[in-house]
Amino acid sequence: MAVKTHLRFILVICFVLIIIEIINMFTGRMLSGFGLLPRSVNSLPMIFTSPFIHGNWAHLLANLTTLVVMLLLMTTQNQRRMLGISLWIITFTGLCVWLFGRTAMHLGASGVVYGYFGFLLLAGWRSKRKRMMFISIVVAILYGSLLLGILPTGGFVSWESHLFGFISGIIAAWYWAK
C-alpha cells in the first residue's frame, strides 16, 4: 500500500469517528446505545459498533491521538493482513468484554488501540524482521505505560477492553507476524 493510500485510510477512520461523535452529540448521545453491554443478548451485535462510539469529545480525542500513531505503525503490514488483524482485535476483544466485562456500557476505540499496541510489541520479535523489531522497541519505550491501563481501575474506564484488546493483539502477533 502506498504512503498516500495509508494516510487516506487513516484520515477516513478519523473522519468517520469525528462524524459519529458529532451525530452522537447532536442526538443527545443516542448513539451510545450502540455500546456494548456485557451478557445482554441484544447487545451482542454491538461488538462491532462499540469501538466507533465514544462517551464525549475528550474520550474520542484521547483515543484518536494514540489510534492514529498505532494505525501509522500498523501500515507496515499489507492491507489485507492489517484488515484481518483489525477485525480479529475488534471481534475477540468485543466477545471477551461481552462475556467477562462488568455490567456497564463499554464504548470507544481503546480496545482496538490496546490490540494494536499488543500486536506491535510482539510482532517484531515474532517476525524477526529488523524494521518490525525497531517498531516493537519504539512502541515499548513510548507506549509501555499503557500496560497500566489493563489493570482494574475505578470509574468509567473499561479496563476490560484494554486487557482483552491487548491479549487479542498478542494473539494476532503470534499468528500473523511470522
CATH number at residue 42: 1.20.1540.10
Q: Exposed e or buried b for every residue in 12-41, given b needs 16+ CB within 10 A?
A: ebeeebeebbeebeeeeeebbebbbbbeee
Provide the residue range defining the domain that includes 13: 3-176
Q: Structural domain tally of the chain?
A: 1
Q: What's the pLDDT score for residue 118?
A: 98
Which residue do the cell numbers 478519523 mark?
14
19-72 pLDDT tens trace: 999 999 999 999 999 999 999 999 999 999 999 999 999 999 999 999 999 999
